[in-house]
Structure 1
Amino acid sequence: MAKNVLIGGGTGFIGSRLSAHLGKQGYNVTVISRMPGLKRITWHDLEKNGVPKGTTAVVNLAGQNVLDPSRRWTEGFKQNVWNSRVNTSAALSKAITNSPEVKAFVNISGVSHYKPTERIYTENDKVEGFDYMSHLCLEWEKAATLSPEAAKHCRGTKIRSGVVIGREGGMIKSIWLPFQLGLGGPLGTGKQVLPWIHIEDLCRLIQHSIEDEKCENVLNGVAPEIVTNGEFSKTFASTLHRPCLCPVPEFVVETIFGKDRSSLLLTGAKIKPESTLQTGFKYNYPSAQEACKEVIRKL
């Protein structure tokens, strides 16, 4: 059976890794990008011509980097963040309606609509809008919901991803230098929960969602181990054989990122991947220590 996958946002930190991973698993990968090229189409091509013929699965990873410290949190940038997630999800969902060969649609969203409390959430718990990021996640998932017509031939899976841990980008790339210099530490009090997942496990979970018919609706893309930002920071520092002595005060984080974005770093909910595990998925990096050790091995 042909394995042809179309990936929206396939050139970023996660997309590049996913493209390489699926390629090794025998998939033919086509990427949707702003720029045309070999094995690429543009978003304009998608709108005009639909999903390429022969595509059997679609994955959407598209989204402007929210935590880009070089970008001020202006109304224009906020709109870019919103559109890059909601509009691309809606465009792919719409295109799949007219593409009966597509059997699986996997859309990555976030976990910001789990309100930080003492409870431990699973996929069966209600999510709600209470700030910018939570409302974004709600609209993001709404846009990724397949029409009844598309659902007749295609499974839709929404993976709610935590912070993605990998050497090539994301949080680890941002904190690598200060921790390497022995100047690393937790953000704020460090007591806030940090939902996370290793990038290899996320790529494997996406493949699992494409291939396994038990994967449908919502899956929590977080590791089974629940840790705080402080606990993760200590684990990462100790794996690097460095101290963890220099916390970053909350006001510094808020000054750099603004209130809306800083909530991603200074708050977090306790989330378990209950439905994910029930599908039979097994994590290669279920603990922060195992994840950090793999990241360090990249040295």
Structure 2
Amino acid sequence: MSDTHIAFIGSGNMAASLIGGLRAQGVDASRIRASDPGADKRVQLAAEYGIAMFADNAEAAAGAEVVVLAVKPQMMKAVCEALKPALQPQQLVVSVAAGITCHSLAQWLGERPIVRCMPNTPALVREGASGLYATAQVSPGQRQQATQLLEAVGVALWLDEEPQLDAVTAVSGSGPAYFFLLMEAMTAAGEQLGLPRETAARLTLQTALGAARMALGSDVDAAELRRRVTSPGGTTEAAIRAFQAGGFEALASKALGAAAARSVELAEQLGK
């Protein structure tokens, strides 16, 4: 990305995370620009990252090889239709807005190279997980640009079919909240068992971090890792049996299915 000019349309948390990730990787500030309607936000990002900020979306996008759409899904249609006359056919458009399909983007922007991404909130700490889908107009070089953009804040994985982004939404897009819920429950249970709340919370968070790092660094899957730490007749086995007796796996499947179905519904609503 060092020789690519990138424009961010919208400067919310996700855009700021991507900008911060790019700057941390050594992308020069002169190659990044962004737009935002708020004067205070423009001043803040210009001071923090040294980038050019604009009130006008078209002015920000002018001359950029990659244009990142990072506005709220509800605003996307109006933003795209207003931006369309200012875009050149060869510019790559990358959307990080949830629920907006490539078909809808093409309707509002015209046929052009489009990459649709589903990042998640850990991108804020550069530990994100993103699914990406490209339309047929996207060149191999542009795919690489999109990959490097999202890898600035974590892991970026390409998908063969756009509907798979609904599953990505269910697994990683909404996924952080599932883990936060489990952390809440474990902290509360630890407190009920007699631990100070702060101690229970710290133990829970460190355990979650350690387990994730073990899984990422292992050459076996999560099921095998679980088996390795579950001694027959031990404390872990007692807990796992209680989880499974309550239908843990079926409940997880139902929850992710609900998230994926809602993703499809939102795409239909927002794409009109």
Fold agreement, TM-score > 0.5: no
TM range (shorter): 0.3 to 0.5
Bigger CA radius of gyration: 2
TM-score for the superposition, normalised by structure 1: 0.41
Higher share of residues assigned helix = 2
Which structure is richer in relative contact order (CA contacts within 8 A, separation 6 or more)? 1
